[in-house]
Amino acid sequence: MNIAKLPLKNIISYKKRTIGLILILVILTMSLFGGSIFIKSLNNGLDSLNERLGADIIVLPKDAESEVDLQNLLLQGTPGYFYMDKSILNDLESIEGVDRISAQYFLVSANADCCSVKVQIIGFDEETDFTIKPWLNESYQGVLKDDEIIVGSMLSTKVGHTLKLYGKEFLVVGKLEKTGTGLDTAVYTTGDTVKTLIEAAEDKGISILSKQSPDDVISSVYIDVKDGYDIDTIVSDINLNNSEVKAVRARTMMTSTSDRLGIISSAISFFVKIIWAFAAIILIAAFYIITGERKKEFAALRVIGVSRKKLGVLVMSEAIIIGIIGSVFGIIITGAFMYSFSVLIGTRLDLPYLLPGVVTTTYYILVTFISVVLLGTISGLISAYRAVSVDTARILRE
């Protein structure tokens, strides 16, 4: 036994005290680390959605629902479909300033055997697509054949497995990167395949189109505008000249989401700050009170020749060790929770939610760790000051 072993000994033997302090520190850690990860994941989700859309303008059928449907599809993964006449594609192609343009076809699966719920089927045009293929994650480089599909990252099927849609077997040849959005639960295939699926559905008596032929419709058009052209001008041009469709700026469509996200983020940062303010006060007060109750112990150490300096170091060491234990525990608990329940959190939120990568997470871990240990150290300093100013002679008489 010696003085150097005393901090650890004290931490272990005064269990209630230690657990109480660690609990406060764990709460501090959880709020800061959890809050940061949560806010970052929301921002990541929105960024990834913006990036994934990859288009400046989206053209949809002009009815109130289709825009809402598309938003639900993107943000929550709620499957949906809508159609407009294919002829619009030619009109749009000829607009001055349009760089890339590609049509997509939407359909909802009847219960696919992969999944307990209906999945979104998105058909894209192999030749013109610029929004889906750049995100192919796995090896697939080729051209999709009629019976091949690509799946979003959240579907449980693997590359090489097959999936049945409207009675037809499809081979999964690729998987997309995770986006944290509704795009993760979709199945991707060619426009032609979607058309045959529509026919297959109608053969089964599921009516999807009222009168047109599947060959004459598309669901949406994605437009990439050339640099130097004003996106808003093109949007209003399209809307003026085509009564059947509605063009929206991709970014505008995201504004409401972005606003909601801003509100959630600031609410969370506010709560984190409140929790910190309270917990910090409680922590400092707890250390202060505990030190007061340990006067006899400090006096005893002074009697056997422990200097004020060493006494201060002893108290500081205890505070720092407890700070480290508390923040490490808090980080592990929060990390485990945030990473195991990220899907659930994302679903509950109805917002794109994408956890940060290793580098960002490590950064948050470090920031949290340093902040919490620092706060522990500050509380320790206050206690240490109290400990070193102990009036030994007076306490010995008590």
- Positions in 335-394 near ligand ATP (CB under 6 A): 394
Residue in 64, 304, 397, 398 binding ligand ATP, rule: CB under 6 A: 397
Binding partner of residue 268 among other proteins, ligand ATP, none, CB cut-off 5 to 8 Å per kind: none
The crossing angle, in degrees rounded to 10, of helices 6-13 and 15-29 is: 90
Give whichever of 6 and 95 is closer to other proteins, judged by the CB atom.
Answer: 6
3-state SS assignment for residue 146: coil
- Positions in 205-244 near ligand ATP (CB under 6 A): none
Give whichever of 113 and 391 is closer to ligand ATP, judged by the CB atom.
Answer: 391
If one asks whether residue 398 binds ligand ATP (CB under 6 A), the answer comes out as no
Give whichever of 264 and 395 is closer to other proteins, judged by the CB atom.
Answer: 395
Give whichever of 161 and 309 is closer to other proteins, judged by the CB atom.
Answer: 309
Binding partner of residue 9 among other proteins, ligand ATP, none, CB cut-off 5 to 8 Å per kind: other proteins
Give whichever of 266 and 307 is closer to other proteins, judged by the CB atom.
Answer: 307
The length of the chain, given as a count of residues = 398
Given a contact cutoff of 8 angstroms between Cβ atoms, the answer to whether 101 and 92 are in contact is yes
Give whichever of 145 and 394 is closer to ligand ATP, judged by the CB atom.
Answer: 394
Minimum distance between the CB of residue 294 and other proteins, rounded to whole angstroms?
A: 10
Minimum distance between the CB of residue 393 and other proteins, rounded to whole angstroms?
A: 4
Contacting residues toward other proteins, per CB under 8 A: 1-3, 6, 9-10, 13-14, 296-297, 299-310, 392-393, 396-398
Minimum distance between the CB of residue 396 and ligand ATP, rounded to whole angstroms?
A: 9
3-state SS assignment for residue 273: helix
If one asks whether residue 251 binds ligand ATP (CB under 6 A), the answer comes out as no
Binding partner of residue 348 among ligand ATP, other proteins, none, CB cut-off 5 to 8 Å per kind: none
Query: Which whole-number Å values give the CA distances from 305 to 60, 299, 318, 375, 392, in the listed order?
Result: 83, 10, 20, 30, 11
Short-list 98, 44, 357, CA closest to 235: 98
What amino acid occupies position 131?
T
Quick one: which H or E segment has residue 102? strand 98-108
Given a contact cutoff of 8 angstroms between Cβ atoms, the answer to whether 253 and 124 are in contact is no
Cβ-based burial of 258 (10 A; exposed 0-12, middle 13-18, buried ≥19)? middle
Give whichever of 240 and 393 is closer to other proteins, judged by the CB atom.
Answer: 393
Minimum distance between the CB of residue 77 and other proteins, rounded to whole angstroms?
A: 57
Minimum distance between the CB of residue 305 and ligand ATP, rounded to whole angstroms?
A: 21
Give whichever of 59 and 301 is closer to other proteins, judged by the CB atom.
Answer: 301
Given a contact cutoff of 8 angstroms between Cβ atoms, the answer to whether 351 and 179 are in contact is no
Number of residues that bind ligand ATP (CB under 6 A): 2
3 Cβ contact list (under 8 Å, min separation 6): 301, 306, 310, 314
Minimum distance between the CB of residue 24 and other proteins, rounded to whole angstroms?
A: 21
If one asks whether residue 9 binds ligand ATP (CB under 6 A), the answer comes out as no
Given a contact cutoff of 8 angstroms between Cβ atoms, the answer to whether 156 and 115 are in contact is yes
Binding partner of residue 192 among other proteins, ligand ATP, none, CB cut-off 5 to 8 Å per kind: none
Q: What is the CA radius of gyration of the chain?
A: 30
Binding partner of residue 240 among other proteins, ligand ATP, none, CB cut-off 5 to 8 Å per kind: none
Give whichever of 251 and 394 is closer to ligand ATP, judged by the CB atom.
Answer: 394
Minimum distance between the CB of residue 301 and ligand ATP, rounded to whole angstroms?
A: 20
DSSP collapsed to 3 states, 222-263:
EEEECCCCCHHHHHHHHHHHCCCEEEEEHHHHHHHHHHHHHH
Minimum distance between the CB of residue 4 and other proteins, rounded to whole angstroms?
A: 11
Minimum distance between the CB of residue 397 and ligand ATP, rounded to whole angstroms?
A: 4
Each as own residue / partner, the long-range contacts of residues 154-157 (CB below 8 Å, 24 or more positions apart, any chain) are 154/178, 154/184, 154/185, 154/343, 155/114, 155/115, 155/119, 155/184, 155/185, 155/187, 156/114, 156/115, 157/114
Give residues in contact with ligand ATP (CB under 6 A).
Answer: 394, 397
